[in-house]
Amino acid sequence: MAKQPRTTGRQRDVDAMQVTVSAGDLTAVVGDNEAHEGQRAGYNGVQSLVSTHCPGESLFVPGIAGINLEHLLDGRDMPDDDDYFEPRRQPMEVEQLDAQSVMLHQAATPTLGVQSMTTFALRVPHYVDLDLRLVLRRETLAHDYLLAFWASYINGPESSAMRFPGRLREEQVGEGWQSLDTPEHGTASTVAAVDSEPELPHSMSRPSLAYSYSELAWTRPFFYGRFRKMVFALMFERGHDVRFTHSPTGGGGGNPAWDFQWVLHQPQVDREYHLRARAIYKPWESEMDIWREFERWDPLLS
């Protein structure tokens, strides 16, 4: 039986498992955690992203997803997969807001008690604006932080590297293009901001990308990677503890994961936390073009 959609009092076209939206060059399929033909369970998020400039091939690995809410962590040990992958294991609702926008909503999760709302809004000509909201609904945290982790599994790119402006963490000044291209899953995986303390307290007994730290640090909150003749970039509004995370094989051999984390420090119960981000999927021009995209972007107008 199909799930019943959340009702909000507004007229919306609501699909139980997936919604397809288009704007400009892009067509995206956004879905919940349900399995169905061609789609594996647990891979909420953008289950397909196709551009008119790269037709017939999704940026993300078929059957899984991009911008997939994978983990909610507070540093406690999570030997049980149902806890470690809690956002994937619990139900989500997918709701079409208008012809170009979809929201994924998840009620407070059983272990950490986190409610999430993620809106994907396609914008002409090649943007997906992201509105990420988290609410801690109970006093549950083992440490004074909440770490939310989104994964994107890239469909066999020629290079697995994530590129971003930054420097070595030990350096006091300087900025240049850096590459996060880890040799194996779980080795020096995560890059934090130059002005942050990357290491978080934890008792996790299983290997976790979230707690595997690189010697690199970012200076501006955006990164990009190359796919065919295209570029995929993710940029974030300033003022948040955002981290970039890489795995060369997160989506299987030859399919890297280009991930990000959002860390909330000392989050308060029932307070809504809000992060704006923008994904870009367009024909490749240059690194300077991506830099200009970030400088032109105003998150408050997205």
The per-residue pLDDT for 15 is 46
Taking the C-alpha atoms of residue 123 and residue 235, their distance in angstroms, rounded to an integer, is 15
The per-residue pLDDT for 1 is 35
Q: What would the CATH number be for the domain defined by 18-301?
A: 2.70.98.90
The per-residue pLDDT for 4 is 36
DSSP strand pairing (241-247 vs 257-265)? antiparallel
Residue 233: phi, psi to the nearest 5? -130, 150
The per-residue pLDDT for 16 is 56
Residues in the chain, total = 302
**Tokens 């970030």 correspond to what residue?**
294
Single-letter residue type at 108: A
The per-residue pLDDT for 7 is 34
Question: What are the mean pLDDT values of the chain's consecutive 10-residue runs (302 residues total)?
Answer: 37 65 98 94 98 98 98 98 98 96 98 99 99 98 99 98 98 97 94 97 97 98 99 98 97 96 99 99 98 95 76
The per-residue pLDDT for 37 is 87
